[in-house]
Amino acid sequence: MKQTINSSKLSALGPYSHAVATEGKLYYFSGQLGINAQTKEMGKTIEEQTKNSLENIDILLTECGLTKDDVVKTTVLLSDINNFEAMNQVYGDYFTENHPSRSAFEVANLPANGLVEIEIIASGK
């Protein structure tokens, strides 16, 4: 059994759910670009986009009754791996303890010409 979750606070750039919860209380979240949830505009810098992406993740976690401490795995997609350090600084300000496991990759392109996209897996209670 699965339950799809969509937030009215966030936009989707295609036919997908923001998150899917499984019967075993695992939550799989779709990647979040660096789009500001209020203005619907893409951030200009890697730092701004990373912050927006993590704020969007926080919105989804809250709507699912979860917190960042429930995140067990992240995948970070970067349009340029040279942005890793700047992204990592903002990421480290968000995940300050009980760090989830993480993978980071450079990809050829991201939707809407994004610089970063972050997806997560979280474990519910």
pTM assigned to the model: 0.89
Which of 23, 22, 19 is closest to 7 using CA atoms? 19
Residue 22 or residue 32, greater confidence: 32
Alpha carbons 59 and 18: distance in angstroms, whole number? 11
Determine the 3-state secondary structure of 114 from DSSP.
coil
Alpha carbons 56 and 71: distance in angstroms, whole number? 14
Q: What is the pLDDT of residues 27-76, one digit of tens each?
A: 999 999 999 999 999 999 999 999 999 999 999 999 999 999 999 999 99
Q: What is the pLDDT of residues 53-63, one digit of tens each?
A: 999 999 999 99
